[in-house]
Amino acid sequence: MGFAEYERKKDEKINGVIYDMSPAPGYQHGIINGNIYTVIKQGLKNSICLVSMENLDFRYHPEENDDYVCPDIMVLCDRNRLKGGVYSGVPKFIAETLSPSTAKRDKAEKKDIYEKAGVEEYWIVAPQGKSVDIYYLEDGRYILEQSYILQDDREDAHYNAETVIGLRGFPHIRMTLGDIFDGLDE
C-alpha cells in the first residue's frame, strides 16, 4: 500500500451531507493561510490560546450531531474542548480562504454555521481579487465590519497595502493587507 492510502481524506459534514474537499486548492490558498497563520502564531506566544491551520475539525454543535467543518485558520482558547483532531468548543476567530470549489459554501453555509456557533470574528479571504471581508458577531448576527480589496501599486490613489488589520479579540495581533497576500504572483 502506498502512503496516499493512509493519508486522511479531507472532507466536511454539514447537515449530515459529506463534502469532499479534494482536489486540494491551489498554491495561493496555502500561501495566504500560511501568512495569516504565521502572524497569529507569533501573537499567541505565551498564551493559553492556539491557532490551527487546515488540520482541526470543528464540531459546531456536538450536542446535536456529528457534523463538522475544517476551517482554514481557527483560534481556540478552551483546550478542554480539544480532543485529538476535533475541537468542540467555540473558536474565537476563523478565517476561510476561498477556492473555486468552496467559495459558495464558505460565504453562505459556513458563515451561517460560524454565526450560530458564536464565533466572534470571521474573515473571508479571496486570492482572486485579493480581498478580505471581516465579520464581527453583534447580538448573535454577523455584521460586515470591513471589506478590503488590496491595491498594492504605490502610484495608485487607492494604495492600501500598508493598511493594518487587527484581530478584534486579540488587538495586539496585527497584519497589513500586503502581509496577507505576500508571495502571490501578480
**183 three-class SS:** coil
What integer pLDDT is reported at residue 21 of this predicted model? 64
Model confidence over 135-168: pLDDT tens digits? 999 999 999 999 999 999 999 999 999 999 999 9
Model confidence over 23-73: pLDDT tens digits? 566 788 899 999 999 999 999 999 999 999 988 999 998 888 888 999 999
Q: According to DSSP H, which parts of the chain are helical?
A: 3-6, 27-43, 103-107, 109-117, 177-180
Q: How far is CA 50 from CA 66, 78, 108, 151, 157, in A?
A: 23, 9, 26, 31, 38
Full-model pTM: 0.88
CATH topology of domain 3-180: tt1808, chain A (3.90.1570)
First to last CA, the chain: 40
CA distance 114 to 94: 8
**51 three-class SS:** strand
The three grid cell numbers given for residue 48, joined into one nine-digit string: 493559553
Type of residue numbered 164? V
The three grid cell numbers given for residue 105, joined into one nine-digit string: 459554501
What integer pLDDT is reported at residue 181 of this predicted model? 96
Sequence spans of domains, the chain: 3-180
What integer pLDDT is reported at residue 105 of this predicted model? 87
Average pLDDT over residues 16-22: 68
Structure confidence at residue 112 as a pLDDT band (50, 70, 90): very high
CA distance 86 to 69: 10
1 has a pLDDT exceeding 80: no
